[in-house]
Structure 1
Amino acid sequence: MAVPSALLLTLFLACSPIAHAQFPTAQMGEVVPRDVREVYEKGLQYLAKTQTEDGDWRGGQGGPGVTGMAVMAFLASGEDPNFGIYSGNIRRGLRSILLSQDSATGIYGGAMGHTSMYNHGFAMLAIAESYGAVDDSDLWRGSAKQSEDGTGMTLGHSLELAVRGAVTSQKKNRFGGWRYGPDATDADTSVSGAMMVGLLAARNAGIEVPDEAIDRGVAYFKSMTSPSGQVAYAGIGGFDDSIPRISIGTLVYAIARRKDMPEFKATLGALTSRLEQPASGSYLRYGQYYEAQALFQGDVEAWEKWNEQLIRELKADQGADGGFSGGLGNSVDSALSLLAMALNFRFLPIYER
């Protein structure tokens, strides 16, 4: 499976020591396991400390998609995104994403020369999850990079542009999916998964997304799904037991509300039959991120069983600084690890069933 060539908050409380926030969802008592809350809080502190002054994260993979992953990790914690301890990190991250957007094409990263559709998909998802939760009127406060009237791009306007850019890219694609660049004519299920989830999140947020775009994307995944539930990467055939791709297919069918399709039943069956299969490899965190969502959307009981093991693994893998390491760089792997755990909180709209 290929991964982004360029993916996926000012120094946190720069003039004072890192403050310790109340554990996420403390108001929910012990509904969220203590281990989850402790690991998650340490991870958020790591992301806060490693955010650049420009609002993004660097080292390893980078770009608006990575920034979007980290922003979602903060949003998923349950802290108030406008006044909570991480609200400044969220605003700086969102401004970084919006400033990267090409105003002509709507592609995130385009203004910076980073036109990876991985970046666009994950950034679009983050803006969709922020839309309606983060106060636009306060988004550009304290930023020197705003328009002359003291305002900047709104989340809603940016998201509309992003959807337009995604749909325009898909129309150029003979498969109905997406590949690395916005003008690509071939497609793969990894990039297309990021794009489909971003579009579906935008639609859930109230942005108009053409039914045709969703239908073509689902049809592409259908063409890439075997009767046994395996999901190919690109081209024709090439089916194998890739947990990340099986998870992506399951998730796309689920949130597109196509659970009646035999392809959804097949991918979910393939996923739940492999719960005991140990995860490994350079793309471990990427796989955990998607498997968590796919199982939660498809089979809650299976997710609960798998989630217990995930918590144990992440608790053991977390570094002393609160971060997680992996093949994609600590920023990406840390954000993905936290988001895999974030189903325990269920604050993000995309995590609702």
Structure 2
Amino acid sequence: MRIFRPIFILLTTLTAAAGQSPKPELISPQVKNAVEKAVAWLVKQQKPAGFIVDEKSDARPKRGDLPSHSAAMTSLALMGLASVGHMPDDPTPEGQACGRALKYVVEGVEPDENGYLGRSDRSRMYGHGIMSLMMAEMIGHAPDEATDKRLRSQLKGAVQLIIRSQQVPKSDANRGGWRYEPSSSDSDISVSVWQVMALRAAKDAGFDVPTEYINNAVAYIKRSYRVERDANGNPKSDSAAFSYEPYGGRQTFSTTAAGLLSLQVCGQYEAAEVHGSANYLLKSPPELNEPWFFYGCYYYAQGMYQRGGDHAATARQKTEQTLIAAQGNDGSWYPRNGNEKSAGAVYATSLALLSLSVHHHFLPIYQK
């Protein structure tokens, strides 16, 4: 089994700028307290069957026919818990809860003949990407050999599904990306980022992911970068946003942060699009009441941390101040705006944990 050794260098900033040696800082007591409360709240939401959702339920789901979005939401919660050090093979109460959550996903999801994970709980390609990323991150941390074996088998099929769905005939603008279903002929950055992170994590875990498919995804994401370019294709501005779709669609902090992190995960640390989107976010930080705050904050915190320097310091301060002030007395967070409200508190709390975990380095996908 492949075991990832946690890197306990609290806030030794991973900076892309040569010669910088930021002074290490300890995680503040306020952040530590917020994380502990959030962990305790998430664990309390776990149902007897192992899934972690907002709704109260003692039901025993049938394999292949799971409560709506329950496998995707449980995967997101598991990544949030693991990001601050609670792994499914730990003997602690939190670790045991993570073990039950992992077993729920790998035992409850029934992939179709193509390896599609998003059908069992109706979470579509969003859920497929989230579950695939979670499985890749949990390689070596399953609570038992049977779960590990099933996890590896499902992940292998899931990776092949992502690759095949990227190859569906698409327009020049949409080529290399993904949308809501494996057969979709269009793409958007929100769905695509989950798939490319899953591919990158699976490749890091030793699965066969030809580089060309990651490169195709990188090219797609770069086409979503909204900036005027010169005759050589170089951006004319050092600050710009990513849009929801290539050459169009809304440009928000959340789409920009998603583009920033995904390119860095793929090793594009010095790409012009990375520099420009980080500069854009430096001037346009997230606000709690805007649409998709928690989703965007996760990408913002992780992506800006990878940049180091002023970008990391500014994002750290903004993320911590905003999330600590918004946390409920019970340890949870709840979305305040738009469609994100319907996703609920498990969703928001899981993403808040991932946002506050940048200095822990437990999950391999965020290690540079």
1:265 counterpart = 2:275: yes
Aligned partner (choices 85, 88, 92) of residue 84 of structure 1: 92
TM superposition shift of 1:212: 1.8
Deviation at 1:109, TM superposition (A): 3.0
Are 2:290 and 1:281 aligned? yes
Q: Do the aligned partners of 1:115 and 1:182 also contact (CA within 8 Å) in 2?
A: no
Taking only the aligned residue pairs, the percentage that are identical comes to: 27
AA aligned to 1:186 is D
TM-score, normalised on structure 2? 0.78
Q: Which residue of 2 aligns with 1:316?
A: 325
CA 1:172–1:321: 2 relative to 1, 3 Å: same
Aligned partners of 1:115 and 1:321: how far apart in 2?
A: 28
1:214 matched to 2:224? The reply is no
State the partner residue of 1:57: 52
Tell me what 2:260 maps to: 250
Does residue 164 in structure 1 map to residue 160 in structure 2? yes
- Give CA deviations for 1:13-46 in whole Å, capped at 9, x if unaligned: xxxxxxxxxxxx8999x83221111111111111
User: How far apart, CA to CA, are the structure 1 residues paired with 2:51 and 2:9?
Assistant: 28
TM-score normalized by structure 1? 0.82
Q: Which residue of 2 aligns with 1:39?
A: 34
* Aligned partner of residue 134 in structure 1, secondary structure: coil
CA change 1:26–1:300 in 2 (3 A) is: closer
Q: 1:320 to 1:173 in 2, by over 3 A?
A: farther
C-alpha deviation, 1:269, in angstroms: 2.1
- SS of the residue corresponding to residue 53 of structure 1 reads coil
What does residue 190 of structure 1 align with?
190
Within 5 Å, which residues of 2 pair with 1:1-353? Answer: 31-59=26-54, 62-79=69-86, 81-82=88-89, 83-98=91-106, 99-110=108-119, 112=120, 114-137=122-145, 139=147, 153-174=149-170, 175-227=175-227, 228-234=239-245, 236-238=247-249, 240=251, 242-275=252-285, 278-326=287-335, 327=341, 328-353=343-368
Where structure 1 has 5 or more consecutive residues not aligned to the other structure, the ranges are: 1-24, 140-151
- Describe the superposition over 1:214-238 as per-residue Cα deviations: whole angstroms up to 9, x where unpaired: 1111111111112242212125323
| Count of aligned positions | 314
Q: 1:26 to 1:164 in 2, by over 3 A?
A: closer
Q: CA deviation at 1:256?
A: 0.8
Distance 1:211 1:350, change over 3 A: same
Q: Distance in 1 between matches of 2:150 and 2:31?
A: 33
What is the DSSP-based 3-state SS (H/G/I as helix, E as strand, rest coil) of the residue aligned with 2:41?
A: helix
Deviations 1:104-155 (A, max 9, x none): 2212232x2525111011111111111123344274xxxxxxxxxxxx8532
Question: Which residue of the partner structure matches residue 10 of structure 1?
Answer: none
Taking structure 1 as reference, are residues 265 and 311 closer, same or farther at Cα in structure 2, changes over 3 Å only?
closer
CA distance in 1, matches of 2:94, 2:181: 33
SS at match of 1:184: coil
- Counterpart CA distance in 2 for 1:27 and 1:261 is 27
Q: Which runs of 5+ in 2 are unaligned?
A: 1-7, 12-24, 56-67, 228-238, 336-340
